[in-house]
Homo-oligomer: A and B are copies of this chain.
């Protein structure tokens, strides 16, 4: 059974490719989808398509509309969601995507370090599974095929 998993989280480092490689190594028939992982492109995409905007605010607004479109299309195609929180960045998109996934009935794995237990306790409580590392999240996915 092939599955599609949406990887919600920050786009400042290469964590998604690590998951992809490990899943490939274990030959899991999983298709991982994600927001735009090229951060610069993600910020530029509004002006790249719509042309220069009057100010930074409108530049952000243009980019976010296209990034949201991408997220909604891919999230709707997904069978489950991994939401990954780290110690840097505000990560409000991650929390918003997790809330949307819960409400849409998409099974959710929350990944967060021990240091974030307190501020993420409500989200953890609503997630289907909470783990501390990406490797553990992958083990949960592997378990679907055991």
Contacts and interface: CB of A to CB of B under 8 A. Distances in A.
Interface of A: 1, 3-4, 31, 33, 36, 38, 41, 45, 48-50, 54-58, 60-61, 63-74, 76-77, 79-80, 85, 90-105, 107, 109, 117-126, 128-132, 136, 139-140, 143-144, 146
User: What is the copy number of this chain in the assembly?
Assistant: 8
10 contacts: A50-B136, A61-B124, A65-B129, A69-B129, A73-B107, A76-B105, A90-B90, A92-B120, A96-B96, A99-B100
Given A1-B77, A95-B99, A122 B49 contact: no
A77 B144 CA distance: 12
B74 A144 contact: yes
A63 to B, nearest CB: 7
B60 A130 contact: no
Contacts of A4: 1
A139 to B, nearest CB: 5
A140 B69 contact: yes
A69 B101 CA distance: 13
A117 B76 contact: no
Contacts of A97: 99
A16 to B, nearest CB: 14
B65 A130 contact: yes
A68 B126 contact: yes
Contacts of A58: 54, 58
